[in-house]
Amino acid sequence: MSILRKALTTAAMATALVAGSAQAEDMRIALVVKALGIGFFEAANKGAQEAAAELGGVEIIYTGPTDTTAEGQIEVINSLIAQRVDAIAVSANDTDALVPTLKKAMDRGITVISWDSGVAAEGRQMHLNPSSSALIGNTIIKLAADHLPEGGEVAVLSATTTSTNQNTWIEEMNKVAGNYPDVKVVGTVYGDDLADKSYREAQGLMQTYPDLKAIIAPTSVGIVAAAQAVTDAGKIGQVNVTGLGLPSEMAGHVKSGASKSFAIWNPIDLGYSATMIAYHLAKGDAKAEPGATIPIGRMGEVTLDDNTEAAMADPFTYDASNIDEFSSIF
Amino acid sequence: MTTANPATTGRQIPDRLGSPAARALKSWEALLLVTAIAIFILNSLASPYFLDPWNLSDATFNFTEKAMIAFAMAMLIVAGEIDLSVGAIIALASTVMGVAMAAGAPTPVLVLLGLGTGLACGAFNGLLVARFGLPSIVVTIGTMSLFRGISYIVLGDGAFTGYPPAFAWFGQGYVVWVITVELVIFALAALAFGILLHRTNFGRMVYAIGNNATAARFSGIRVDRVRFILFLLTGLMSGIAAICLTSRLGSTRPSIASGFELEVVTIVVLGGVSILGGSGTIPGVVLAAFVMGLVTFGLGLLNVPGIVMSIIVGALLIAVIALPRLWRMARGA
């Protein structure tokens, strides 16, 4: 008897814990993340809550599996379908495995979008990318140019020679390099996204180009290694390290001055925009079709391309003024 | 209690069904049933969406694939062995099916390959344990990395997609109304394993081996052969689960079914199977599968975070393992 009582008490307690959140509101938007307990996604939730408060009459259901599995996400999505939520905005653990379940959700009249990490086109109405290759390519050279009013030599420290993302971004950067005539890109080296190799390649750059003014590393491994190499060489103030990195890993180098600024997408803006898009699609005042534009509140608007994908904005710039706020988030 | 306290005298082979041990087991399943009903009622009170046939049908996907493997795993654990490679077998079987699909194989061939890969993996585990006498926990921790490693070599960070529409029937199809194909496979497997463990000589041998393998060997039971067959069965059920899961996801990635082994063992232990071997029943495992499914789906409907859900499941499991022991201590004192 005592076992039964214990089981009942456990279940009853669980029920009581969550009973408060079960009341219905006008529109319920589920923000499904890769896994709970990740700073990046907690920040996205913050943005989603901000959007909900701004819109009014919107309840955000922030949920996801405990580990980053497609199976866990499917269980979560099944229970959201059962609750007949109005919209699901998912950052997918698997491009393909979620498709059958999300199709079922759409069949039952639920708006489905993906953000951050996308779902194959047939499993969602649209996908929101945090940025686009063109915007990233422009941002990384602009970050270097911003701190070089008189121009000078800069070099790129990339990941591997075959990294699709980095190659595309560097290509886009070279396309717009003409807009920054004083900045001269003198070379590209590859650190293979390994900390020690990236460190040695950064050292090599400083030896090869004694007048080097900046290193652009569009990879979170490379940028940290380059900043460390600059610090160890005693060249803080002479060589500025910039590119794409994570605030938590870069905080020390921003404070030391090795990196004056760097960029990466802002998860708060991403959660905010995903919620705005889900809201407008579920409400029916916007359509997810190629060429359509969807308003995203304070972030402006996005335009869908031929694959019904959209890019949110320029990568967000982090410097001494905001690094503390974000380094605790991700 | 007419005999000495069993907690201090070690495990005994029950020779009559009327023994206290058998009665305790019986009450265990009754308890699981009551728990399942209680959770069902609580869920219906807590969420307006629970009592919907389609939602309940969706909910069964939370446990059907794991439970299919749990039946075979239960027999393995009763026999004093364990197989931690079941999730990896699913990954490898799914990968083999993916390779064949990419080469244009039709659905029946895919199914045969899924079953065949499962059997081959089970045979490999069984051979190492039964023939070479290696401890099953060590062997299957090894094959867990081995089988999934092969999937990673074949697929890298890629995926197989585009399974034929007919193949979707196994994981997404319905037999009648809300009864899914997977639920029917689950029921048939429960029946088959129930008969095998509780109504055949083979089943009695499994109990005998789990209680005392040496005594079983001296009684003329071909212990290694029984063990080999049990690993074969676990491999086969993992193959069937691989077909269902691959069909449900419509794709294969090397990370498929990661962590399944622990969830399967959780269902088995929650079902009252002693992790030390020698006791446990299939009806207990069936009920445990429903309890797990109802708990996770019910909490999911209330949007309880997965972390809290893990805590509840963990607490349930510890309670299940600790309570019978406390119960016996209380009775024996």
CATH number at residue B191: 1.10.3470
One-letter identity of residue B271: G
**pLDDT at residue number B127:** 97
- What pLDDT score was predicted for residue B333? 56
* Total CB pairs under 8 A between chain A and B: 138
Predicted confidence pLDDT, tens digits, chain B (333 residues): 344 444 444 555 555 555 666 565 556 788 888 888 988 999 999 888 888 898 899 889 889 999 999 999 999 999 999 999 999 999 999 999 999 999 999 999 999 999 999 999 999 999 999 999 999 999 999 999 999 999 999 998 788 988 999 999 999 999 998 999 999 999 999 999 999 999 999 999 999 999 999 999 999 999 999 999 999 999 999 999 999 999 999 999 998 998 899 999 999 999 989 989 999 999 999 999 999 999 888 888 888 887 788 888 888 778 777 776 787 788 765
In total, how many domains does chain B have? Answer: 1
C-alpha to C-alpha distance for B3 and B14, rounded to whole angstroms:
13
Contact A14 B250 (CB under 8 A): no
Q: H-type helices in A178-246, by residue range?
A: 195-208, 220-232
pLDDT at residue number B73: 97
Which class is domain A18-129+267-313? alpha beta
In this structure, how many other beta carbons lie within 10 angstroms of the beta carbon of residue B239?
31
Domain membership of residue B264 (yes or no) is: yes
Query: Which residues of chain A make contact with B39, given a CB cutoff of 8 A?
Result: 7, 11
Q: Please, what is the end-to-end C-alpha distance for chain A in angstroms?
A: 48
Structural domain boundaries enclosing B42:
23-326
**B122 within a domain of the structure (yes/no):** yes
β B160-161/A58-63 pair status: unpaired
Could you report the predicted ipTM of this complex, rounded to two decimals? Answer: 0.76
Q: Which chain B residues are Cβ-neighbours of A71 within 8 angstroms?
A: 245, 249, 256-257
Rounded CA-CA distance B216/B206 in Å is 9
Q: Rounded CA gap, A158 and B102, in Å?
A: 34
Contact partners, residue B140, CB within 8 Å, separation at least 6: B82, B83, B84, B85, B125
Q: Which of B64, B251, B295, B318 should one mutate to test binding to chain A, selecting the residue with the greatest count of A CBs within 10 A?
A: B251
Length of chain A: 330
State how far the Cα of A236 lies from the Cα of A143, in Å rounded to an integer. 17
The answer to whether position B1 is within a domain reads: no
Closest chain B CA to residue A20: B302
- Kindly report the average pLDDT of chain A as a whole number: 87
Query: Phi/psi of residue A240, each to 5°?
Result: -95, 130
Residues of chain B with Cβ-Cβ distance to A5 below 8 Å are: none
- In degrees and rounded to multiples of 5, residue A297 shows phi and psi of 55, -130
Tell me which chain A residues have a C-beta less than 8 angstroms from the C-beta of B323. 3
* The pLDDT value given to residue A26: 81
Chain B contacts of A78, Cβ < 8 Å?
58-59, 61-62, 297, 300
> Chain B interface, mutation test: which of A2, A3, A102, A163, most B Cβ atoms within 10 Å?
A3
DSSP assignments along B257-295, one per residue: TTTHHHHHHHHHHHTT--TTSS---HHHHHHHHHHHHHH
Contacts of B295 in chain A (CB under 8 A): 11
- List the single best residue of B270, B292, B302 to mutate versus A (max A Cβ within 10 A): B302
Phi-psi category of residue A58: left, alpha or beta, with phi > 0 → left and psi -120 to 50 → alpha: beta
Looking at CA atoms only, how far is residue B205 from chain A in angstroms? 32
What are the angstrom distances between the C-alpha of A185 and each of A123, A178, A218, A259, B139?
42, 11, 14, 18, 55
Q: Would you say B269 and B319 are in contact if contact means Cβ atoms under 8 Å apart?
A: no
A94 is written with which tokens?
A: 């698997």
Enumerate helices (H) and strands (E) in chain B, giving the number of each.
15, 4
B4 falls within a domain: no
pLDDT of residue B25: 54
Superfamily designation of domain A133-264: Response regulator (3.40.50.2300)
Rounded CA-CA distance A44/A269 in Å is: 7
Residue of A nearest to B161 (CA): A96
pLDDT, position B322: 78
Q: Can you give the pLDDT of all 330 residues of chain A as single tens digits?
A: 444 455 444 554 444 444 444 444 589 999 999 888 877 888 899 999 999 999 999 999 999 988 888 888 999 999 999 999 999 999 988 888 899 999 999 999 999 999 988 899 999 999 998 888 888 999 999 999 988 888 899 999 998 887 777 888 899 999 998 889 889 999 999 988 888 999 999 999 999 999 999 999 998 889 999 999 999 999 998 999 999 988 988 999 999 999 999 999 888 999 999 999 999 999 998 888 898 899 999 998 899 999 899 988 888 899 988 888 888 878
Residues from chain B that touch A84, judged by Cβ atoms under 8 A, are 49
Q: Please name the member of A3, A63, A75 whose beta carbon is closest to the beta carbon of B31.
A: A3
Domain boundaries, chain A: 18-129+267-313, 133-264
Which of B46, B47, B306 shows the shortest C-beta gap to A65? B306
Contact by Cβ (8 Å): B28, B147: no
What torsion do the CA atoms of A315, A320, A321, A326 make, to the nearest 10 degrees?
A: 60
Decide if A15 and B161 are in contact by the 8 Å CB cutoff.
Answer: no
